[in-house]
Chain A
Amino acid sequence: MPFELKLPRNLKAGGWKVKIFDKEELEPPHVTVLRGPEKWRLGLRDRRFLLPSGGSWADFPKILEKILKESIPILTIEWDRIHPTNPVGGEDE
């Protein structure tokens, strides 16, 4: 089952979603942020935005940035639960 981070009502109403999927590309652990057709992937090891979408914190509302940064520990636990063979604490490819 994917993990979906609970977001405040205003972000949810704005179409924001934060997910860790059951099936992902084999690459650095990350969390996917979705809004409509837009997609960002935030690396959980180095907090960098992964390709192909790239992006930056400036793309998000301040409150979402704060929530994401504060949620890194829980996102890390959830990533490791869903993808135990590619843990956040493991080595980069």
Chain B
Amino acid sequence: MNESVYIVDGTPCQRHTLTVMGANVLASKTDVAEAVNSRPPANSLWIALHEVSAHWLAHALANSSVPVRGRFLAIQEVPPELATLFADRFDKIALKPHSLLPVTEILTIFLRDDRDQFCIGGSIDQSAQAIICVKGDFSVISAPLTFFESSAGVIPDFNDFEVIDHGRTLRFGKYQATFSVLLYERDIRYRRHLNRMREESDRSFGASMRRLRKQRGLKLSDFGVLEKTVARIERGQVKHPRKRTLIRIAKLLRVAPEHMADY
């Protein structure tokens, strides 16, 4: 694996699975100290499964002069003083979200290139009326609870929240939303990435014309025909544009009308 994963104190039955998946399972205080002092890669993921594991790691960090970076996830509650230490030592931390995927699923997601498209855990803050989700890359995404409006008479129950389906789904009682809908709404990088993919895959005449226009640095208003008409052609809303209009547009785009669809 490209990234190193350190799991502090796995239970015996989990240790085998996690080791097979490529994680370094640290089952004692000494193991943790050795790992911390071994100059772990900066993109490592550290997971403390129990409160005592968090104490082992904090002890090792406090006694080491080796800089440790990467991401840290605490499965159980950690005391505030330890949280401060972890926040200082790691690039990103996530401390016991209300709902968290099983460790094996987190590990699977963390090792994927598209990990930022998964939710590994999340919390509902009732006083702020917001949902806070931790993505697979440990960045955080949030939204007001009003984002999840009722659907076909089903009202989301924010007191019964769970991240399911390997981080693809957010469940609120009997209501389920895809995590990608939250990404699309709240994550500009994801939205741009998706729109770029859609644009590249869209081989329609309108999409080709839009790409070509952008390549030429032209605006909708640069064609000497109604701006609205050009926009409608690009959206595919004009099935058969007039020949005269096409010739005028093609001339400004510096291509033959019959080659416009090639772009």
Q: Is B176 within 8 A of A51, CB to CB?
A: no
Partner of A36, one of B108, B117, B151: B108
| Cα(A54)–Cα(B184), bound, Å | 17
Indicate if the CB atoms of B193 and A21 lie closer than 8 Å.
no
A17, A23, A25, A83 pick with most chain B CB within 10 angstroms: A23
CB distance from B93 to the nearest CB of A (A): 23
Bound state CA distance, A51 and B197, in angstroms?
A: 7
**Chain B residues, Cβ within 8 Å of A82:** 151-152
Quick one: closest B residue to A93, CB to CB? B235
| Cα–Cα, bound, A24→B182 (Å) | 9
Q: Once bound together, how far apart are the Cα atoms of A36 and B166, in whole Å? A: 6
A51 and B165 within 8 A (CB) = no
Rounded to whole angstroms, the CA-CA distance of A39 and B169 in the bound complex is 11
Asked if A37 and B198 make an inter-chain contact with CB atoms under 8 angstroms apart, the answer reads: no
Indicate if B148 sits at the interface (CB-CB under 8 A): yes
Q: Does the CB pair B178–A24 fall under 8 Å?
A: yes
Contact, CB under 8 Å: B152 / A19: no
- Give the residues in chain A near B87, CB-CB below 8 Å: none
B181 and A23 form a contact (CB under 8 A): yes
A23's nearest neighbour on chain B, judged by CB, is B177
Once A2-B176, A52-B194 are accepted as A-B contacts, the answer to whether A22 and B152 lie under 8 Å apart by CB is yes
CB <8 Å contact, B168 and A22? no
Q: B200 — nearest CB in chain A belongs to which residue? A: A51
Contact of B176 with A19 in the complex, beta carbons under 8 Å: yes
Chain A contributes a number of interface residues (CB within 8 A of B) equal to 21
| B194 touching A37, Cβ below 8 Å | no
Question: Do B198 and A22 touch (CB < 8 A)?
Answer: no
In B169-224, the 8 Å CB interface with A consists of: 169, 174-178, 180-181, 184, 193-194, 197-198, 201
Q: CA of A34 to CA of B194 in the docked complex: distance in angstroms?
A: 19
CA distance A39 to B151 in the complex (A): 22
A58 beta carbon closer than 8 Å to chain B: no
The reply to whether A37 and B180 form a contact with Cβ atoms under 8 Å apart is no
Residues of A at the B interface (CB closer than 8 Å) are: 1-2, 17, 19, 21-25, 32, 34, 36-37, 39, 51-52, 54, 81-84
8 A–B pairs (Cβ distance < 8 Å), ordered by A: A1-B154, A34-B166, A36-B166, A37-B108, A39-B168, A51-B194, A81-B152, A83-B151
Q: Besides A25-B184, A37-B105, A51-B197, 19 other CB < 8 A contacts? A: A2-B175, A21-B169, A21-B177, A22-B151, A22-B152, A23-B148, A23-B175, A23-B178, A24-B178, A25-B178, A32-B178, A34-B165, A34-B166, A34-B168, A36-B166, A37-B112, A51-B198, A81-B152, A82-B152
Residues of B within 8 A of A (CB): 105, 108-109, 112, 117-118, 148-149, 151-152, 154, 156, 165-169, 174-178, 180-181, 184, 193-194, 197-198, 201
